[in-house]
Structure 1
C-alpha cells in the first residue's frame, strides 16, 4: 500500500490515443500563442497537456489563457484555466470525478454521502466542480481573479494567496474556529 497506485477512468488504448492527440496538438498551440510554453512538469503528466501562460513565462494575461482554452476546445478537448496553466484533455472527467473515484477506491466511502465531512481548497476556475459539490469550500486569495468565469464559488476566500492562504485555513481549523462569516 506504500507504493504509487494509479487508477484511470479510461482504458489504456483510449488514453494512448488521447496522449498522441495531445502531443500532436502541443506544437500547434505553442506556435499559435507565442510566449507560452509547456508546463515544466509536463513530462510527468499522463492525462493532460498543460500550457504555461504565467508560471515560468512572463505573465501573458487572462486573454491569452482564454484564447488557449478556446483553441483546445476547437480541437475537441476539454480545457480549464488554472492559476498558472491552461489544462486540456480528452474525456469528460474533472477533479470531482477523480476525487469520487479516489475516495471510493482508497477508503470505501461514497463521496456524495460524506461530502459534509470534507473541506476543499482551490485556487482557480478548474476548481468550480469541487466548489459546487462540497459545502465546506475555501479559495485561496488568487481565486478572486477567476470568480467571474466560475459557475460555483468557494464559501470562504482567504486573505493570503497560494500557500499562505492554505496556512490561513489550517490555522483557522487548528484553532477550532470558523472562518469569516461562519464559512466553515
Structure 2
C-alpha cells in the first residue's frame, strides 16, 4: 500500500468512475459530514460517474439512489443495484436473486440469527435489519459494546457452518446465500447502466473503502484507495488497496475527490 499522494497524475487523469463504500469511508462516527457529501457532489459536477457500493440495506439504498448526488448504488454487499433516472422520474431496481429465492434465503438466515445470538454473547441483530431484503447483518460494534476479534470470527464461522457467505465490515458481519459480492454487482451495474466493461476499463475506475468486505474491490481495481482507517485492520484484509489516503473516513475520501477533480481540471486545461 502506497500513499495516495504517490499515485501517478497520468493515472488519475484516466479515471471517470468513482465507487465508494459508505460506513467509515464517507462517514465519521456514524454520521455523514458535509465534506463527504460535498465531495460526492463536486465529483458529479466535474463529470464523474459516482456510486456508493455498500453493505447497507435496501431501505437506505432507495433513499440514497433518489436523493444523494450519485448515479446509483450497490447495496447489501452486492444483493442489488438501484438507479434513479431524473429525466424519467423512475427508480430501477435490479436484484442478484429472485424474490422467491430471497424469501427462501430469509428462512435459512433466521436459523443463523438464532445460532449467533445463542452462541456469541454481546452480538446483536443490526438495527437496520428491518430494511434489508437479502442478507443478515450482525452488529459487533455499531450499537453494542465492541466485541473481541475472536468473537467476530466466531460469528463468521457460524454463517459458514450454515453454508452462507460472510463478510466483515467496520461495524457488522454480513451474511447471505449466493455467489455475488460488491465486485460482481458493480460489474453488472456499470455494464447495464453505462456500457462500461470493468475488465477492460478497470483503469478508469477508482474505488474507496476501509474494511475487509471491500477486499474484492481492493484486489481488482488498480486505482483502489483505502482511507487511513483501513490500516486498523492490519493483516485481516484478504486484499489490500493499492493506495492509502492520509485522512481517515470522510477526510480521506475528500482527499481522493480533490486529487481526481484537480487531475481532471489539468486534463481540461491541457486539452483547451
Q: Which runs of 4+ in 1 moved over 6 A?
A: none
TM-score by length of 1: 0.89
Unaligned runs of 5+ in 2: 1-84, 265-272
Q: 1:162 aligns with which of 246, 249, 261?
A: 249
Q: How does 1:141-160 map to 2 (within 5 A)?
A: 141-160=228-247
TM-score by length of 2: 0.61
Q: How many residues align?
A: 177
Q: 1:21 aligns with which of 102, 105, 108?
A: 108
Point out which structure has higher relative CO (alpha carbons under 8 A, 6+ apart): 2
Distance 1:173 1:155 in 2: 16
Q: 2:174 aligns with which of 65, 87, 96?
A: 87
Q: What is the CA distance between 1:11 and its match in structure 2?
A: 2.5
Q: Which structure's residues are more often strand, by fraction?
A: 2
Distance 1:79 1:23 in 2: 15
1:37 paired with 2:152, answer: no
Q: How does 1:1-184 map to 2 (within 5 A)?
A: 1=85, 2-176=89-263
Q: Which structure's residues are more often helix, by fraction?
A: 1
CA contact (8 A) 1:119 1:134 kept: yes
Q: 1:73-124 CA distances to partner (integer Å, 9 max, x unpaired)?
A: 0111000111111011001111001101111111122121111111000111
The 3-state SS of whatever aligns with 1:40 is coil
CA contact (8 A) 2:115 2:158 kept: no
Distance 1:20 1:104 in 2: 32
Unaligned runs of 5+ in 1: 178-184
CA RMSD of aligned residues (A): 1.7
